[in-house]
Chain A
Amino acid sequence: MTDTLAAKPSPTVTEKPEGYGLRPRRERKGETLVPWVLMTPTLVLLALMTIMPTIYLLRASVRNDTLLNTNGRFVGLANYSNALTDPTFWHSLLITIGFVVVAVALEMLLGMALSLPLAGERLSSTWGTTLLLLPFAITPVVSAMIFKELLNPNYGWVDYYLGQLGLPAHIEWLSHPTTAWIALIGLDVWQWTPFVALILIAGLQSLPGEPREAAAIDGASTWQMFWHVTLPQLKPFIAIALVLRTIQAFKTFDYFKVMTGGGPGDSTEILNLAIYRIALQSFRIGAAAAIAILLLILLSLLVPALLRGVGRNADPEEA
């Protein structure tokens, strides 16, 4: 029976929604304008908020202005070469990438695991989803402070209850790189898994029921149902959650500032901390802009790769 399912994908299981491949024979001339009209407000708003800052940043990155003193000169690519030849830049970049990979992977897995049972319509799902969302609702800086307090080796709850349970206690969480990373990744996962789960729940809600019904008639097990039917249909939403969460993870800042300040040593000095220090404490706009643009370039290479990695079918319109 399992072979039947794998060998004969019924037309309704395909990821490509039907009908979107039909040639629009009936389009009237004026119809081609409609999408543009629908898009214009969005495009205007986004252009307003990004084109001007981009121009400003590009200009700033080739000068050595500080925020207050505009006597800076054109310095060509000096800011870029300074950043790229600075070992601390590469160190920060590497640990940022490491953080993003681990945290996002955990959040995707946990988010998936949580979304399946909570997508149903039972009463327990309503409460479950509310509980799920609560960590996401707490202001990030406050979350970081609470975690720091809970992990305090002198009067934190974690230390106390670990001791009560007989587990190793008196861990100085933020004083050692490994445990500091565990704490930071734990905080990120705690707060952002709900984001992923909610997107996947939205996806599960909008899936058509026929394929599942057909598979059930064919006698598929829960796992087969999930792997061969649900998961492929969910791919667009998985892609969204993955891409958005990755971009957000690169922008993480508050947790690191509050919990470790980049320490111990510089083991948690992610790129954003350096940008913050340079941009909003020393106000060397030129140097900060160069690093920000390098980060932008990295992301614009990474994101399409991610989308392709999720599968050719991440975008429902791709053939």
Chain B
Amino acid sequence: MTDTSISRRGFLGAALALSAAAATGCTPGVKGASSSGASVDANASKPAQLHMLYATAEANSAAVQALLPAFKDKFGIELVMDTQPYDALQQKVFSEFASQSTYYDIVIVDTPWAPALVAQLEPLSQHIGNSALNDMADVDVKDFIPKVFYDTAVYNAGDPIKHFPDEASPADVAAITGAGFDIYGLPLQANAQIMAYRKDLFTDSGELAGFKSKTGKDLAVPKTWDEFVTVSQYFTRPDKKLYGTTVMAGVGDWATDDFKSMLAAYGGQGRLIGDDLSLAFKSPEGTAALQRYVDLINKYKVTPPGSTAASWDEAASLFDSGTTALTMNYHALELDDAVKGEIGYAVVPQEKTRGPHFGTWMLSVNKYGGNRAWAYRAITWLTASQQQLTMTGKQLHPSRTSVYKQVTSAQNKSEAEFYRVLGDSLAVGVGRARLTNYTEVSAAIAKAVNSAATGSAAPDAALNTAADQVRKLLTDAGYKVPG
């Protein structure tokens, strides 16, 4: 311990040096900051490495990691992937952009973050038209599923909450830029809410007979919410540790996603907030939808215990362990070995209509990065038709129409079924409202859903409380809420 005097002086010196540097504000400078306004040089020299910030299982990082060797072969560049789970990723993405760091060339962006980040992302419309930059892959924007493309990647920099008017026709760069919008990334992993069920239970002769005798109808995959309730009730056998379905009524944006899908099914505005910033979720459809949702838990009692604290993780675990016969989720599931069963997929049931929640990740180019030309080439290659097809081998959710065509006629029948259902769901899917503080709005609504689910508030009262909170949140963020 008598050596502390030496180390003390050493550290004292370091501390003084550091504080002196900070005080004088002398900065070694941010490395290689290229002015973001300058046009991208297609002939820029090839870097040895490109850095990409990516998610984990939410965006199927395993699929992309499997492509890295092929990327190196094709480009001669090492693509270094840093992965983080959702919350940590969001924090990292925002802090990197806030300090205008040049470190990450490619950044993955989730749709709700995009309105706040638009100014930091490189607009791609010019690059798409530049043939010199499209020499590594065919970007073919028309091939992206239109709804997915517009919802995820197309924004108006001057007014980020606006949606592109025509979301049905295939993407056309001229039309997009003509309307004052631009393209800020290329979509990769498209998630939509789909229904999964235990095919073995639905085809078991004993179950078919039992259902017929109990209800007089044939056991089939439910197409409407009433049918869904009947089937769930049939399969709810607490003593055998089997329940009808899962719900994610814990406090978090999974509850908001559950609710908005139900709201859309009842004919309400699935985006929760109207384009004119009206509080569309506070409506007769909203109350009816929330009532149906909580009835599943409290009236029909078809959900396992703990559903009012459940999130994605619990829902997936419950279905995988064979505790429920049905589930709503966003990923392909895998039953545990102990459960000898088979999974089937179907589009979510309808009430008046269907509007399953969907959300997509996109790969964007860091506006402050020093290798934007090669970053652009990289994302065109990663999201290209051939690569997406390869990645479906690891259950990637493609964003291109051509890939769906190929993968729904694949040999593996259950995989083909999954992709067919996913494609159909994306076609009717409803995205989120575009707000810079979407996370807070979603949290307020999730609280309302949870309060109603636990029975501590009636659906109408809960939505009223949420409406007051959301109104305040939107006003604080600078939006003008009508009424």
Which residues of A are at the interface with B, using a C-beta cutoff of 8 A? 40-41, 44-45, 47-48, 52, 66-69, 82, 86, 88, 152-155, 170, 172-176, 180, 257, 260-266, 277-278, 280-284, 287
Q: Would you list which residues of chain B between 434 and 466 have a CB under 8 Å from chain A?
A: 436-437, 439-440, 443, 447, 450-451, 454, 456-457
Show 8 A/B contacts (Cβ-Cβ < 8 Å), sorted by A.
Answer: A41-B11, A48-B18, A66-B436, A153-B306, A174-B306, A174-B309, A263-B251, A280-B94
Complex CA gap A52/B23 in Å reads 10
**B439 & A281 in contact (Cβ 8 Å cutoff):** yes
**A284 & B437 in contact (Cβ 8 Å cutoff):** yes
Say whether B15 faces chain A, with CB atoms less than 8 Å apart. Answer: yes
Q: How far is the CB of A210 from chain B (nearest CB, A)?
A: 26
Say whether B181 faces chain A, with CB atoms less than 8 Å apart. Answer: no
Chain A residues closer than 8 Å to B117, beta-carbon distance:
68
Other A-B pairs, 6, CB within 8 Å; known A68-B120, A284-B476: A48-B18, A154-B241, A172-B309, A263-B309, A266-B251, A287-B476
**A175 & B308 in contact (Cβ 8 Å cutoff):** yes
Interface residues of chain B: helix, strand, loop or mixed (majority) = helix
Say whether B16 faces chain A, with CB atoms less than 8 Å apart. Answer: yes
**B116 & A264 in contact (Cβ 8 Å cutoff):** no
Chain B interface size range = 35 or more
**B447 & A154 in contact (Cβ 8 Å cutoff):** no
**A266 & B447 in contact (Cβ 8 Å cutoff):** yes
3 closest A-B pairs (Cβ-Cβ)? Answer: A263-B251, A174-B309, A153-B305
Say whether B90 faces chain A, with CB atoms less than 8 Å apart. Answer: yes
Complex CA gap A86/B22 in Å reads 38
Say whether B369 faces chain A, with CB atoms less than 8 Å apart. Answer: no
Chain A residues closer than 8 Å to B437, beta-carbon distance:
282, 284
Complex CA gap A277/B473 in Å reads 12
**A66 & B116 in contact (Cβ 8 Å cutoff):** yes
Partner of B450, one of A155, A170, A263: A263
Say whether B340 faces chain A, with CB atoms less than 8 Å apart. Answer: no
Chain A residues closer than 8 Å to B477, beta-carbon distance:
282, 284
Say whether B252 faces chain A, with CB atoms less than 8 Å apart. Answer: yes
Say whether B321 faces chain A, with CB atoms less than 8 Å apart. Answer: yes
Say whether B323 faces chain A, with CB atoms less than 8 Å apart. Answer: yes
**B12 & A265 in contact (Cβ 8 Å cutoff):** no
Partner of A281, one of B15, B308, B440, B476: B440
Q: Which residue of A lies closest to B306 (CB)?
A: A153
Q: How far is the CB of A55 from chain B (nearest CB, A)?
A: 12
Say whether B412 faces chain A, with CB atoms less than 8 Å apart. Answer: no
Say whether B426 faces chain A, with CB atoms less than 8 Å apart. Answer: no
Complex CA gap A82/B314 in Å reads 37
**B476 & A82 in contact (Cβ 8 Å cutoff):** yes
**A265 & B436 in contact (Cβ 8 Å cutoff):** no
Given A44-B16, A154-B305, A263-B251: A277 and B454 interface contact (C-beta under 8 Å): no
Q: How far is the CB of B88 from chain A (nearest CB, A)?
A: 10
Q: Would you list which residues of chain B between 99 and 148 have a CB under 8 Å from chain A?
A: 116-117, 119-120
Say whether B19 faces chain A, with CB atoms less than 8 Å apart. Answer: yes
Complex CA gap A264/B18 in Å reads 46
Say whether B8 faces chain A, with CB atoms less than 8 Å apart. Answer: yes
Q: Which residue of B lies closest to A171 (CB)?
A: B305
Chain B residues closer than 8 Å to A277, beta-carbon distance:
439-440, 443
Complex CA gap A167/B348 in Å reads 40
**A281 & B305 in contact (Cβ 8 Å cutoff):** no
Chain A residues closer than 8 Å to B447, beta-carbon distance:
262-263, 265-266
Partner of B15, one of A45, A82, A282: A45
**A281 & B90 in contact (Cβ 8 Å cutoff):** yes
